[in-house]
Amino acid sequence: MMPQTKGKFGTYGGQFVPETLMPALAELETAYEIAKADQNFQAELSHLLKTYVGRPTPLSFAKRLTNHLGGTKIYLKREDVAHTGAHKINNALGQALLAKRMGKPRIVAETGAGQHGVGSATACALLGLQCVVYMGEVDMARQRPNVFRMQLLGAEVRAVGSGSRTLKDAINEAIRDWVTNVRDTHYLLGSVLGPHPYPTMVRDFQSVIGLEARAQILEAEGHLPDLLIACVGGGSNSMGLFHAFLPDQAVAMVGVEAGGCGIESGKHAARFAPPISSNSRPMMEARLGVLHGTKSYILQTPDGQIAETHSISAGLDYPSVGPEHAWLRDEGRISYTYATDTETLAAVKLLSQLEGIIPALESAHAVAEAIKRAPTMPRDSLMVVNISGRGDKDLDTMISHL
Ligand SMILES: *Cc1c(COP(=O)(O)O)cnc(C)c1O
């Protein structure tokens, strides 16, 4: 399953950027193709993933959760124990290493909650690269500790005061910076979004999650899992887990989006949720469109503006979704559902108390779906849930809600 033509996944994806960016994308695409095939590059990345990130991350059998739910055997893929506490470091290190190879000493990145900014700042500190992170003013106020972390790691955090002063505005500014400084700068994008080659490249850097999980479950159980579950913001941790299993038709996959306050409330980020048939005017609807250089589903207002989304977890609070997800959904290979904020908080509590693992609010969306499905599946079946990150960053939010 490769993109048919230049970064296209079916009708999704592509390169929708100003003319001035085309040479930079072409340069990046070529450099990535060469690096991907270069054993030295792959060996260097593997070495860092092992000795710095702590890979392979464990695949843990969740015995008490399994017994409690009384159905399928549940395994947890533990990205929460990766250095910096989430999967984002896998991609940040891969791209930072590539930038260095390309002779680009300066990195720009965008961040919403700050997780990708921290991942990028960490990779830049490790590899001796200059790092500038664009962050919306609203997000900076909401995520003070992560702003300080990035600064401590030597990054410059630039406040973005335009638009809604959140993630999508930060992405706009990062792209603007890249266009202006493309000679010495690489744009380190944080999910399977943006123009080609980003969705493919980020997926490749995250596919280590699924490659490990596949080998680990085969070693533990002797056969493949029946179901994989992961949360979907931009879509990188889910694509990272799913990719190695795509050819295995017997392995079902579910992506879990942010249901926020419920679909009917209009306060959510569930791009794939079926439209509600109420007579009240829908506040937003997912329609095909172009955002940040790629064609995919985008939550829009009735007059076609990018909608303001909502989720209790900042990492899932984005109006669009990676183009490969849109395609694999059309193909029927992956199905999508959502968990509400309330279900997510209940999942945080249950996993914490039964397994001693406090998940990130994003990851808890996947756990919420596992809680719904596990009792309906036979006891001799297997499920793998991706714990994309740890919950330390979310303690304030959890304290105010629990
Ligand atoms: C950023 C983030 C996500 C959402 O991003 P994806 O690209 O969909 O993976 C999920 N979990 C955690 C812990 C995150 O930091």
In a domain, 1, yes or no: no
Walk along the chain (402 residues) and give the pLDDT tens digit of each residue. Answer: 444 468 999 999 999 999 999 999 999 999 999 999 999 999 999 999 999 999 999 999 999 999 999 999 999 999 999 999 999 999 999 999 999 999 999 999 999 989 999 999 999 999 999 999 999 998 898 888 999 999 999 999 999 999 888 898 999 999 999 999 999 999 999 999 999 999 999 999 999 999 999 999 999 999 999 999 999 999 999 999 999 999 999 999 999 999 999 999 999 999 999 887 666 667 889 999 999 999 999 999 999 999 999 999 989 999 999 999 999 999 999 999 999 999 999 999 999 999 999 999 999 999 999 999 999 999 999 999 999 999 999 999 999 998
Residue 3 is predicted with a pLDDT of 45
Tell the residue nearest (CA) to atom 14 of ligand 1.
Answer: 315
pTM above threshold 0.95: yes
Indicate whether 97 and 242 sit together in one domain.
no
DSSP 155-170: PEEEEE-STTSSHHHH
Q: Which domain holds residue 99?
A: 9-51+87-203
How far away, in angstroms, is 111 Cα from ligand 1 center?
Answer: 11
CB-based contact 143:113 (threshold 8 Å): yes
> What single DSSP character describes residue 202?
H
| H helix runs in 153-292, sequence order | 167-180, 198-206, 208-221, 236-242
Tell me whether residue 47 is exposed, middle or buried, using C-beta atoms within 10 angstroms of its C-beta: 0 to 12, 13 to 18, 19 or more: exposed
Residue 279 is predicted with a pLDDT of 61
Q: Which residues of 129-284 form beta strands (DSSP E)?
A: 130-136, 156-160, 185-187, 227-231, 252-260
* Whole-number Å distance between alpha carbons of 177 and 164: 19
In a domain, 366, yes or no: yes
Domain boundary among 153, 170, 203: 203
In a domain, 3, yes or no: no
Indicate whether 35 and 71 sit together in one domain.
no
Residue 6 is predicted with a pLDDT of 80
Domain boundary among 153, 185, 203: 203
Indicate whether 262 and 359 sit together in one domain.
yes
Domain boundary among 141, 169, 203: 203
Nearest CA-CA partner of 312 in 354, 356, 347: 347
Residue 281 is predicted with a pLDDT of 64
Told to judge if 313 belongs to the known catalytic residues of this protein, a careful annotator would answer no
Indicate whether 179 and 300 sit together in one domain.
no
How far away, in angstroms, is 7 Cα from ligand 1 center?
Answer: 22
CB-based contact 374:72 (threshold 8 Å): yes
DSSP 117-131: HHHHHHHHHHHT-EE
Residue 142 is predicted with a pLDDT of 80
Angle CA(132)–CA(39)–CA(30) in degrees, nearest 5? 55
Residue of 79, 110, 324, 369 with catalytic role: 110
Indicate whether 227 and 250 sit together in one domain.
yes
Judged by DSSP in three states, 87 sits in coil
Percent composition of the chain: helix, strand, coil (DSSP 3-state, to 5): 50, 20, 30
Indicate whether 60 and 133 sit together in one domain.
no
Residue 283 is predicted with a pLDDT of 80
Residue 233 near ligand 1, beta carbon < 6 Å: yes
Alpha-carbon distances of 102 from 42, 122, 135, 282, 357, rounded to whole Å: 15, 19, 25, 47, 39
**Omega before 197 within 30 of 0, i.e. cis:** yes
Residue 7 near ligand 1, beta carbon < 6 Å: no
Residue 4 is predicted with a pLDDT of 46
CB-based contact 172:162 (threshold 8 Å): yes
| Residue 219 β-bridge partners | none
Secondary element (H or E) of residue 336: strand 335-340
* Whole-number Å distance between alpha carbons of 160 and 167: 9
Which amino acid belongs to residue 77?
K
Residue 115 near ligand 1, beta carbon < 6 Å: yes
Indicate whether 117 and 211 sit together in one domain.
no
CATH number at residue 99: 3.40.50.1100
Angle CA(85)–CA(223)–CA(211) in degrees, nearest 5? 35
How far away, in angstroms, is 382 Cα from ligand 1 center?
Answer: 24
* Whole-number Å distance between alpha carbons of 113 and 365: 17
Residue of 88, 104, 168, 393 with catalytic role: 88
Told to judge if 388 belongs to the known catalytic residues of this protein, a careful annotator would answer yes
Residue 360 near ligand 1, beta carbon < 6 Å: yes
Indicate whether 280 and 372 sit together in one domain.
yes
Judged by DSSP in three states, 136 sits in strand
Residue 164 is predicted with a pLDDT of 86
Say if strands 156-160 and 130-136 run parallel, antiparallel, or are unpaired: parallel
Residue 231 near ligand 1, beta carbon < 6 Å: yes
In a domain, 169, yes or no: yes
**Residue 23, phi then psi, degrees to nearest 5:** -60, -35
Residue 91 near ligand 1, beta carbon < 6 Å: no
Told to judge if 335 belongs to the known catalytic residues of this protein, a careful annotator would answer no
